[in-house]
Structure 1
Amino acid sequence: MKTRILAAGFGLLSLAATSAWADILVAIAGPMTGQYASAGDQIRKGAELAVADINAKGGVLGQKLKLEIGDDACDPKQAVSVANTMVNKKIAFMHGHWCSSSTIPASEVYNEAQIVMATVSTNPQVTERGLKNIFRIMGRDDQQGVVAGNYLVDHFKGKKIAVVDDKSAYGKGLADEIAKAMEARGVKPALRESITAGEKDYSGLVSKLKSAGIEVLAFGGYHTEVALILRQAQQAGLKLTVMGGDTMTNSELVTAAGPMADNVLFTFAPDPRKNPAAAAVVKKFRDAKVEPEGYVMYAYAAMQLFAEAAQKAKSTKYKDLEKALREGSFDTVIGKLSFDAKGDNKLPGFMVYQWKGGQYDYVK
């Protein structure tokens, strides 16, 4: 009997040791396939380098991070399925999803399972539902919409401005906020329309814009639709300036729209590539032939955020991480992050950018 007890004891010790040195599973989720897959690729590249760098420095609490990747294709139902899969894998942290329409339902699953998550999704409802597990490392549409709306009013006086959305949670939310900001300044959109994302022909919209004498299009949606609208507008002899949101950071816009991409303005957070504290990481990406545009640095920062929070909490348990994230301040490649009671970034900022010659930069 004593021998069996001793053997059982050694077995427990062995199991405990194995558990103590098991990998910590962290995850990303977003459109790894589908029409927005280039954004998913940005997220994956950012997270992969961050995990490699964190592991090279000893990991987190003496354990290595292992990255899981979920593909939701920006489809809400698929996002819920991905979330359930990640819960079953017992991840400690999620960076995702990307489309607000995916993040909102998926976050309910992670919240119920008590898994903390960081997101760049900008729809206000991401953090307005009272969930305690979600932390937004980007600003909100009711912040960038004001910046975009004010810029349009200030720089396009006397021009006819249309506001169009793609019916998504992100796109409609942003378009509504731009229209609201314009109207608060006494400028009513000359046209307010919606399109369906993913269509191959927007000539009907272009005809409406041309008939109404529209010169500026404020668009709530993604870069793929903007590229097609610009090409078809050019074919119809309509010169358009487009004001978009943070999803216009994708260089795929230039590939698809060609020189017409130079007509695109957009709002986005301060460019992390210009952050002196991030210079070494930016160089590492570029040395690997990866341009850290768009969401690349945000995915890197999300993994830094988790690692710092776990080190401060001395734990990867939900309650400890949630408390550390809510109370702490964290240094990342996108700057210092801290969060309010809703989980929103306390220091959001949006700048106006323009594409020129295949690169985007602040509007001069």
Structure 2
Amino acid sequence: MSKILQKGFLALAVSTAMGFAHADIVVAVAAPLTGGNAAFGEQLWRGAEQAANDINAAGGINGEKIKLVKGDDACEPKQAVAVANRLVDSDKAVAVIGHFCSSSTIPASEIYDEAGIISITPASTNPQVTERGLNGEFRMCGRDDQQGIVAGDYIVDVLKATKVAIVHDKDTYGQGLADATKAQLAKRGIKEVLYEGLTRGEKDFNALVTKIRSSGAEVVYFGGLHPEAGPLVRQMREQGVNAKFISGDGVVTDELVTTAGGPQYTKGVLMTFGADPRLIADGKAVIEKFRSSGYEPEGYTLYSYASMQAVAAAFKGAGSTEGAAASAWLKSNPVETVMGKKEWDKKGDLKVSDYVMYEWDDQGKYHQK
């Protein structure tokens, strides 16, 4: 082969490679895809995947297609940092949908901020996610200091309880949410009769249940996730402790029923979560698409779908995938999403939060009260 021909093939190979490099907009989905909280990871992945497919089918972003990559953090902070570095350095992601656990989102977002890429968490509610002054960090959900107000007021105004036990899982999210509820109860004149932490991964809560019984609690508020909430409420019921059990958005999955051992244990459990996005008209077509494929878009599925819509809108609006430009656009413009119109303040928080109370029924399903 002549040198001229070789050069021609080399130029073609280089231009083709460059074309592929610029043909896709790499967006990462970072979530617990394995481990005890994998059900939430599946929600985030399913939502982002469907949104990316729908956006690509409509022409993509500024003529380019979205390519999704996965980052499994297992809800472990150290693993989240390793995943974040990989997504930035190896996968060359220009945006991240995630993480799920606040304890993962907080350290990982430092890496995304340093890299100058935008990240939107569909689920992390700890206030510190957006209180650190990071330019490109957003959330598609509310905050624990908002969620705690709703829970605290419900305990006082609706349940009329005066004896409340507060339990948390010692994690950034769980303890933060428990403390936010505790603070609201204090504002309403209620001092908790018990404040205890448990360890994530633990399954035997008999000693804790004994303390709850001894406290005379009428309500047990739990800040944490479903792998611990399920066994805790089951062991309470098995030991005859019938105090009302309330938790937050960390138990918004059918897996709560599984970890509890059946709907007979979760019946009557209350939880705070955003107004059910499956009831919003804006998402009807997308919801039907999920259901026709045999998947129920519960929990954070539509939050993740909306997060992808926000990323796409920001890149389109800014005319660029550059993080600072996309962030500035998103903080100045509303976005029509599957969950309705969303707007963000300068911190990256939603301007409107819509926490409400839900209750689990005897069939193992939750319903907005």
Q: TM-score over 0.5 for the alignment?
A: yes
Q: How does 1:1-364 map to 2 (within 5 A)?
A: 14=15, 18=19, 21-88=22-89, 89-119=91-121, 120-257=123-260, 258=262, 259-356=264-361, 357-363=363-369
In the alignment, structure 1 segments of 5+ residues that lack a partner are: none
Quote how far apart the aligned CAs of 1:14 are: 3.4
Matched letter for residue 73 of structure 1: A
Quote how far apart the aligned CAs of 1:17 are: 6.8
Quote how far apart the aligned CAs of 1:310 are: 1.2
Matched letter for residue 22 of structure 1: A
Tell me: CA distance 1:315–1:150, structure 2 relative to 1, closer, same or farther (3 Å).
same
Matched letter for residue 50 of structure 1: A
**C-alpha contact (below 8 Å) 2:161/2:218 kept by paired residues:** no
**C-alpha contact (below 8 Å) 2:165/2:220 kept by paired residues:** yes
Tell me: CA distance 1:13–1:33, structure 2 relative to 1, closer, same or farther (3 Å).
closer
Matched letter for residue 164 of structure 1: V
Quote how far apart the aligned CAs of 1:9 are: 12
Tell me: CA distance 1:17–1:100, structure 2 relative to 1, closer, same or farther (3 Å).
closer
| % identity of equivalent residues | 48
Quote how far apart the aligned CAs of 1:269 are: 0.8
- Provide the rounded CA distance (Å) in 2 between the counterparts of 1:307 and 1:329: 13
**Deviating more after overlay: 320-329 vs 63-72:** 320-329
- Provide the rounded CA distance (Å) in 2 between the counterparts of 1:57 and 1:17: 24
* TM-score scaled by length of structure 2: 0.93
SS for the counterpart of 2:358 is: strand
**Deviating more after overlay: 47-56 vs 102-111:** 47-56
The number of equivalent residue pairs is: 360
**C-alpha contact (below 8 Å) 2:161/2:219 kept by paired residues:** no
Quote how far apart the aligned CAs of 1:155 are: 2.1
**C-alpha contact (below 8 Å) 1:240/1:263 kept by paired residues:** no
- RMSD, aligned α-carbons: 2.0
Quote how far apart the aligned CAs of 1:68 are: 0.5
Quote how far apart the aligned CAs of 1:15 are: 5.6
Matched letter for residue 90 of structure 1: K
Quote how far apart the aligned CAs of 1:255 are: 2.2
SS for the counterpart of 1:95 is: strand
Matched letter for residue 45 of structure 2: R
- Provide the rounded CA distance (Å) in 1 between the counterparts of 2:148 and 2:112: 28
**C-alpha contact (below 8 Å) 2:117/2:324 kept by paired residues:** no
Deviation digits for residues 23-78 of structure 1, max 9, x if unmatched? 11001111101111111011111111111111111111111111001000000000
- Provide the rounded CA distance (Å) in 2 between the counterparts of 1:12 and 1:286: 43
Deviation digits for residues 99-156 of structure 1, max 9, x if unmatched? 0000000000000001100012000000111101101111100000000000001123
In the alignment, structure 2 segments of 5+ residues that lack a partner are: none
SS for the counterpart of 2:331 is: helix
Matched letter for residue 106 of structure 1: A
- Provide the rounded CA distance (Å) in 2 between the counterparts of 1:339 and 1:46: 20
**Deviating more after overlay: 314-323 vs 16-25:** 16-25
SS for the counterpart of 1:104 is: helix
**C-alpha contact (below 8 Å) 1:21/1:62 kept by paired residues:** no
**C-alpha contact (below 8 Å) 2:155/2:161 kept by paired residues:** no
Quote how far apart the aligned CAs of 1:235 are: 1.8
**C-alpha contact (below 8 Å) 2:152/2:184 kept by paired residues:** yes
**Deviating more after overlay: 122-131 vs 247-256:** 247-256
SS for the counterpart of 2:46 is: helix
